[in-house]
């Protein structure tokens, strides 16, 4: 295995790895470790160029510093990318080599799943390092982060409703969910149990049929999900749901969902503020999964403790909403400021 440190200003350590034997090419990026090891997923993807992969891993690792700080877990921000097609080029041997690359950083980076990486891949990595998490133990603790992400989004939504609608009860509240995958479907379940009225959209007909049957949800097309006459819009599919084409069509007073990078441009949080729409910053409200992974990695996966930490997402969001109101600033800017106050002073 060969490695070389890349000189990237503003990032603590960025290392390029190549392993001829297994065809591994990867970059591990640790943005900041003031709070602890850089924790964040490993993504396997066929990038168009080395620069594209580097740009992605830098952006993602920086995002994890902010997410983990506001998730109040003792981890900094890190991320890894592997330059390979996850379907045709990834092999168990390559993932073991990735484990060796992770291990060579001696705990500075802790890996988990991201797109193109499965639980089996994490198991392969763990043959070479203990610094990879997201696998259920023998007692069924930890593992799949999606249910914890969904729980955190539900709690965050309640905090947004309390701030904007005057009550944290979602009974009778109308919510439009775009994306009924692992997180969106579990979120719909929580909301239905609380008595919310659901509108749903997806490209998967089976998911739509299930939501219609289980939650009496109204089905609309993905293009129309953002424009529903509802109280809350919950983007839970891909990033960029709030874009040039949708921002002027929003009718909801609250945006609170699981998707990463919901705003096509960061400045859109200012536009939402001007429109009087309360935006729950995506990386704060969707931190439940990484909070669970962090607890699992620390050998600290205790249900009560974990759910206490997930409930704290609502407390942090309330703090953000109140400070944004007091300072007359967009919620995204306040979230970043709060995160920086935590990790820069650590």
Which residues touch 326 (CB under 8 Å, ≥6 apart)?
none
Residue count at the site for ligand NAD (CB under 6 A)?
25
Measured from the CB atom, the residue of 36 and 41 that comes closer to ligand NAD is: 41
Measured from the CB atom, the residue of 70 and 101 that comes closer to ligand NAD is: 70
How remote is the C-alpha of 265 from its chain's centroid?
A: 17
Per DSSP, the residues of 147-173 read: HHHHHHHHHHHHHHHHHHHS-S--TT-
CB of 287 to ligand NAD, least distance (A): 7
Measured from the CB atom, the residue of 122 and 237 that comes closer to ligand NAD is: 237
Does 289 interact with ligand NAD (rule: CB under 6 A)?
Answer: yes
Distance CA 224, CA 250 (A): 10
Binding ligand NAD by CB under 6 A: which of 86, 222, 253, 270?
Answer: 222
Binding ligand NAD by CB under 6 A: which of 204, 265, 302, 315?
Answer: 204
Measured from the CB atom, the residue of 172 and 266 that comes closer to ligand NAD is: 266
Segment 309 to 328, residues that bind ligand NAD, using CB under 6 A: none
Binding ligand NAD by CB under 6 A: which of 237, 256, 278, 314?
Answer: 237
Measured from the CB atom, the residue of 159 and 236 that comes closer to ligand NAD is: 236
- Lookup result for tokens 């992969």: 53
What CA–CA distances, in Å, run from 171 to 14, 187, 231, 307? Answer: 47, 14, 12, 22
Binding part of the chain for ligand NAD, among 17-25, 118-126, 142-150, 309-317 by CB under 6 A, reads 142-150
Distance CA 62, CA 122 (A): 22
Host H or E run for residue 76: strand 76-83
Contact between 331 and 320 under an 8 Å Cβ cutoff? The reply is yes
Catalytic residue status for 79: yes
* Catalytic residue (choose from 79, 90, 164, 273): 79
**List of E strands, 104-160:** 109-113
Does 202 interact with ligand NAD (rule: CB under 6 A)?
Answer: yes
Does 77 interact with ligand NAD (rule: CB under 6 A)?
Answer: no
φ, ψ for residue 307, nearest 5 deg: -65, -30
Chain residues binding ligand NAD by CB under 6 A are: 145-146, 149, 178-184, 201-204, 207, 222, 236-239, 258-260, 286, 289
**Which residues are the active-site residues?**
79
């Amino acid at each position: 295995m060969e490695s070389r440190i890349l000189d990237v200003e503003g990032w603590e350590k960025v290392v390029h790895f190549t392993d001829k034997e297994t065809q591994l090419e990867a970059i591990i990026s640790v943005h900041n470790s003031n709070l602890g090891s850089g924790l964040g997923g490993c993504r396997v993807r066929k990038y168009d160029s080395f620069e594209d992969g580097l740009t992605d891993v830098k952006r993602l690792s920086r995002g994890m510093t902010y997410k983990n700080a506001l998730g109040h877990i003792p981890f900094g921000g890190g991320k890894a990318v592997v330059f390979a097609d996850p379907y045709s080029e990834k092999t168990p041997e390559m993932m073991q080599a990735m484990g060796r690359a992770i291990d060579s950083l001696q705990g500075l980076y802790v890996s988990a799943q991201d797109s193109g990486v499965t639980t089996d891949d994490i198991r392969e990595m763990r043959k070479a390092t203990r610094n990879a998490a997201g696998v259920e133990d023998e007692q069924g603790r930890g593992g799949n982060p999606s249910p914890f992400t969904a729980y955190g989004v539900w709690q965050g939504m309640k905090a947004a409703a309390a701030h904007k609608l005057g009550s944290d009860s979602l009974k009778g509240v109308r919510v439009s969910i775009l994306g009924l995958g692992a997180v969106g479907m579990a979120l719909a379940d929580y909301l239905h149990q609380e008595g919310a009225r659901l509108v749903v959209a997806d490209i998967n007909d089976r998911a739509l049929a299930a939501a219609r049957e289980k939650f009496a949800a109204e089905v609309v097309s993905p293009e129309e999900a953002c424009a529903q006459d509802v109280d809350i819009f919950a983007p839970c599919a891909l990033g960029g749901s709030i874009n040039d084409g949708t921002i002027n069509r929003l009718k909801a007073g609250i945006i609170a969902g699981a998707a990463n990078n919901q705003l096509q441009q960061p400045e859109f949080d200012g536009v939402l503020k001007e429109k009087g729409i309360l935006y729950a910053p995506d990386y704060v409200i969707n931190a439940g999964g990484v909070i669970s992974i962090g607890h699992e990695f620390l050998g600290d996966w205790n249900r009560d403790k974990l759910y206490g930490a997930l409930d704290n997402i609502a407390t942090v969001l309330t703090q953000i909403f109140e400070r944004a109101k007091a300072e007359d600033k967009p919620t995204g800017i306040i979230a970043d400021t709060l995160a920086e106050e935590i990790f820069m002073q650590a």
